[in-house]
Amino acid sequence: MRLEGKVALVTGGASGIGRATALLLASQRAAVAIADLDETAAKVVLQQILTAGGRGIALRCDVSRAKDCQRAIRQTVEALGGLDILFNNAGIIRRADVLVTTEEEWDRVMAVNVKSVFLMSKYAIPVMAKAGGGVIINTASGWGLKGGRNAAAYCASKAAVVNLTRAMALDHGAQSIRVNCICPGDTDTGMLRREAQQLGTSEERFLAEAADRPLQRVGTPEEIAQAVLYLASDASSFVTGATLVVDGGGLAG
């Protein structure tokens, strides 16, 4: 699953699953653009890649804004020579039901989790098509396939990502652009721990409940990154429109 000569762009690449994936793709010889609202943290990840002998750039990007997305694609192509892999990973969560969720919170979750996939893909696809093809991977969630309590906006947004993935796979397969999504289960990231704060419970109790699945633990960002690497590589050359669940068996029963 080596990515020699490939260029990847990872949104939300400064932390969690995005960071782990950026480092893994770079270790497989891809040049990586790390796009994040937190440019300082993105530069820390970039320095790790450069220190290991890799290539990349760090970009400040608000993925909910068209101009930022367009600029991120342009700067990636200019600095790294193209764009072969787009990992639409940036995301946020608001743990609340529809009664408690405000209109502003709903709009922000939808903008970061869904609109960003639309915008980044809108500007990436012409670049990929001109080059003869590419790969887009979107981060959805197990809650994009099954409902969850007190996460109405998040569940709705991730279900949208799942079906947007299928729609783009249908629309752009003839251009040799594969589009797939991953559906992680609870993964030990800062965002998961912030859920405990939103719900007003202790991290210890929250993580113990999150581990209630066949493998009896939450996932690691590095494990999710391995699934992204598979979809980004030629090992998945006949896979498009697919939803890859990586959740330790959480949806199995």
Domain range annotation of the chain: 7-184+220-243, 188-218
**Tell me, what's the pLDDT at 48?**
98
**Tell me, what's the pLDDT at 253?**
82
Give catalytic status of residue 230 as yes or no: no
DSSP letter at 58? Answer: E
Mean pLDDT taken over the chain: 97
Q: In angstroms, how far is CA 221 from the centroid of its own chain? A: 11
Closest CA to 27 of 44, 50, 9: 50
pLDDT in tens, 8-52: 999 999 999 999 999 999 999 999 999 999 999 999 999 999 999
Opening angle at CA 136, ends 24 and 88, nearest 5: 70
The DSSP secondary structure of 40-108, one letter per residue, reads HHHHHHHHHHHHTT--EEEEE--TTSHHHHHHHHHHHHHHHS---EEEE---------TTT--HHHHHH
Q: How far apart are CA 10 and CA 235, in angstroms?
A: 20
Residue with tokens 């040799």: 176
From 85, 109, 115, 154, active-site residue: 154
Instruction: Please report which confidence band the pLDDT of residue 160 belongs to, taking 50, 70 and 90 as the band edges.
Output: very high
Helix (H, G, I), strand (E, B) or coil at 86: strand
The DSSP secondary structure of 182-196, one letter per residue, reads EEE-SBSSHHHHHHH
Closest CA to 135 of 183, 90, 84, 81: 84
Q: How far apart are CA 195 and CA 11, in angstroms?
A: 21
Q: Is the pLDDT of residue 191 over 80?
A: yes
Which CATH code is given to the segment(s) 7-184+220-243? Answer: 3.40.50.720
